Amino acid sequence: MRSSFLQVLAALLAAAPAMQALGQSSLGGQGYVDLSVKGAAPKHLGAGILYGVPNDAAYTPDKAPVLPSDLFNGAGINVVRAGGAQIKAYPGFVSSLEGYKGRFNSTLQNYRYARAHGAQFVLLPHDLWGADSFNAAAKVYPCDNGNCDLYGKFLDQLISDLKSNDMLFGMHIDIWNEPDIQGFWPRSQDQWIQQYNYAYRKYRAALGPQVLLQGPTTSSQPNSGNVWWQKFGANIKANPDVQPDIYSFHQLQGRKAANCGNDPVVSVQGLEDVKKAHGLPDRPVQINEYAGSDEQTPAYSAWFLERFERSGAWGQRANWGMWHGLHNDMAKLVGGADQGAFYKLGDWHVYHYYTQVQRGVVARAGATGSNCYDLYATQEPDSGLIHILAGTRGQTGAYPVVVSSLGSVAAFKGKTSLRVLVNEIPYNGGGRVDGPVTVSHADVAVVDDKLTVNLDMKLDSAYTIDISVPPAAAAR
Ligand SMILES: *[C@@H]1O[C@H](CO)[C@@H](O)[C@H](O)[C@H]1NC(C)=O
């Protein structure tokens, strides 16, 4: 006992200075960027939103505020997912045709805004139906008692409205949202599958392959033990004509998920297992609601964006607003809709940096030791600009980021120091954040073709690191 205690103590004492020298995080890791390994141009995989774009129907009987284009495009939003949910004045198709039309108008205005601003659109028919989980009128569901006639009428109306309003471009249809949650589908798995196959075939026959059809859009993540995915996998194996163009599901477990979980990288691996078990084809993946409400802070947002880039899945930010509040804050990237002037939140600046500042090509980057950290980096090889986004799942304290192979960037060859700008993107308790805060802006020595940036992370803040040739050296 005694000797082993002493051995442990000795080991700890020996390890402590070594850890300090390495400057490791409390979880024993470092961030790394290797500039010699270049990838493709950024695709901004995680820059989609669920709802969050104002529309008049949601503000009935008033007019909605107009979301300024510079806020939408400045965050690089490339997908909007909507279908007129939570509009009390118009409870959806289950109440009346008028109830459907109000929700359709909401959807149409959102579609037009998205398309005018260069974004794709993901349509949510379950919300047009009225199954938005807040609607007491939603007592009937597609294919109740094995009869899909009413659903057929709904789909005919919707398909006709999509065509007559010229809504087929940049359009995806998300066949039914979260069937594995009672609030959205209080029916059996078998009825869900019947509904899915029925709708898929009707959409495809009427709209052709141009409109992408996606599913199964579970709230839970795919893995070989997930019964909804087992059912879905077996169904599309048996019926290849209804294989989705895009696999979709949600990632909403919140910040308490064990072991820095709620991780798109893990979920995409789980999907691979399901595909293997059922012999299913490869398709793009869309995690079309991500981040629990307590994960919508700059640190977590940056981490999610990094995990999307690592997994190759597309992502759309979840929206926890209610009623017209579901329709006005770009899924909590902006505030102020009801105070007469929109303003930016901390998270907006994360998306701005990710989509607008991180130009060039992707550089190899990541974190050692712990998935609670990640990095996403790009380099503009011609101008010698490096852009690094650092996120965490709720970590604080020292975090070293080592940038290596500096000499592989032509502009950096032979430089003994480089200019490094470190910015913090604060959370500010979810309030207004006008811009990032400069932490340091100084020359950092290049040693062995590397430089190290020692971040001191605050809970919920994201950090950005921009590296360039010092101005004086550039002038020479
Ligand atoms: C939907 O929009 C159309 C065209 O602007 C309008 O005529 C109609 O009254 C609206 N319907 C509802 C239910 O709001």
Q: Is the pLDDT of residue 420 over 90?
A: yes
Q: What is the pLDDT of residue 6?
A: 34
pLDDT in tens, 87-119: 999 999 999 999 999 999 999 999 999 999 999
Given the CA of residue 105, which atom of ligand 1 is nearest to it? 1
Place 29 in a pLDDT band, splitting at 50, 70 and 90: confident
pLDDT in tens, 213-271: 999 999 999 999 999 999 999 999 999 999 999 999 999 999 999 889 999 999 999 99
**Residue to probe by mutation, ligand 1, list 101, 107, 108, most atoms within 8 Å of CB:** 101
Which domains are delineated in the chain? 26-42+361-475 (2.60.40.1180), 48-356 (3.20.20.80)
pLDDT in tens, 342-360: 999 999 999 999 999 999 9
Q: What is the pLDDT of residue 474?
A: 57
* Atom 12 of ligand 1: nearest residue by CA position: 102
Q: What is the pLDDT of residue 456?
A: 96
Burial class (CB in 10 A: 0-12, 13-18, 19+), 269: middle
Residue 92 CA, ligand 1 centroid: distance in Å: 14
Pocket-forming residues, ligand 1, beta carbon under 6 Å: 57, 98, 101-102, 105
Q: What is the pLDDT of residue 19?
A: 36
**Residue to probe by mutation, ligand 1, list 105, 106, 165, most atoms within 8 Å of CB:** 105
Q: What is the pLDDT of residue 63?
A: 97
Residue 123 CA, ligand 1 centroid: distance in Å: 19
Residue 103 CA, ligand 1 centroid: distance in Å: 10
Place 9 in a pLDDT band, splitting at 50, 70 and 90: very low
Place 138 in a pLDDT band, splitting at 50, 70 and 90: confident
Q: What does DSSP say about strands 385-392 and 48-50: parallel, antiparallel, or unpaired?
A: unpaired
Given the CA of residue 57, which atom of ligand 1 is nearest to it? 14
pLDDT in tens, 297-315: 999 999 999 999 999 999 9
What backbone phi and psi angles, to 5 degrees, belong to 334?
A: -135, 165
Cα maximum dimension of the chain = 82
**Highest mean pLDDT: which range of 72-76, 370-374, 391-395:** 72-76
Q: What is the pLDDT of residue 473?
A: 59
Residue type, 164: S
Q: Is the pLDDT of residue 21 over 60?
A: no
Given the CA of residue 101, which atom of ligand 1 is nearest to it? 13
Q: Which token pair is 323?
A: 């009623």
Is there a contact between 307 and 27 (Cβ–Cβ < 8 Å)? no
Q: Is the pLDDT of residue 8 over 60?
A: no
pLDDT in tens, 54-68: 999 999 999 999 999
Residue 86 CA, ligand 1 centroid: distance in Å: 17
| Other CB atoms within 10 Å distance of the CB of residue 338 | 12
Q: What does DSSP say about strands 437-445 and 373-380: parallel, antiparallel, or unpaired?
A: unpaired
Q: What is the pLDDT of residue 17?
A: 34
* Atom 13 of ligand 1: nearest residue by CA position: 102
Q: Which token pair is 124?
A: 């949510």
